[in-house]
Amino acid sequence: MKRSISRVFAAILCASSMISQAATQQEIDLALAPVKNNAQLQVILSDASALDALEDNLPLFLNSVTYTQQGAHDGIHFDQSVLEDNLTVTEIYKILALFGQQTNIAQYQGAEVVNDTDRLLLDISTSALPYCEAASPIDLSVIMDSSKQALFSYAQNNVACDGNVELTENTTITYQLVNTAESPQGLRLTGAGFANPFDAHIETVTVSEDGQAIYLQNNIQNTGVSKFQFIFASDENTLLLLSPDPQVINRPEN
């Protein structure tokens, strides 16, 4: 019996050996993280650390820290905006490393970029993101940087992915819009545009009434890659916003 699966692998590396390495790296980062609980966090706070870069915003960050003890995604969670709004990419990376979450640096596209190291961290993390899974909704975030450029990012269960999905059977893919204080006002999805809407890789597209979710239904009998762009409207102006093109790959099992 066929099951719907999405292979997780780095977008720039297709070899299956690299898939396991990417997954293992996250596990290694978490295993070696200096901070896994509140007691360890207090030890870190007693001496100089990467957290010092937050300066007056440190109490705000600490108040946002929560710990989960059960479920598939145990770990430490915090308000990402406190880091993104006040630190450079490199400073954020060093803080994430304390919690074993440095592989999530791609989620901080709005952070300040002041040197080559900042740019390198974002370039590497973005190009090496894994595919998204079709089995659960994909969070889609759009924020505006200081020059009013729209930055797009995707994540599932607080882990960044590249927005692309690989399918092995007929599946409905859900993208859920996540608006933040940095998002355009009144941002909403209105549809999706396709490079080739006649190849039937994607058969139907449905948008929720509130414009906060979009659903794509594929036809696995039509193999290949379907490239598309999300279409957004907002209260900022009457112009429509287009996303970079995520892809759906129909690859039926033999």
> Is pTM beyond 0.75 here?
no
Annotate the chain with DSSP letters as a single string. Answer: ---------BTT---HHHHHHHHHHHHHHHHH-S-SSHHHHHHHHTS--GGGGGGGGHHHHHHH-EEE-SSTT-EEE--HHHHHTTSBHHHHHHHHHHTT-GGGGGG-TTSB--SHHHHHHHHHHHHTPBPBPSSSPEEEEEEE-TTS-EEEEEEETTEEE-S-EEESS--EEEEEEE--TTSPTT-EEEEEEES-TTS-SEEEEEE-TTSSEEEEEE-TTS-EEEEEEEEEE-SS-S--EE----EEEE----
Q: What are the structural domains, with CATH classification, of the chain? A: 1-11+131-254 (2.60.40.420), 33-130 (no CATH)
pLDDT digits (tens, 9 = 90+) for 194-218: 988 888 889 999 999 999 999 999 9
Summarised one tens digit per residue, pLDDT across range 47-78 is 999 999 999 999 999 999 988 754 434 578 88
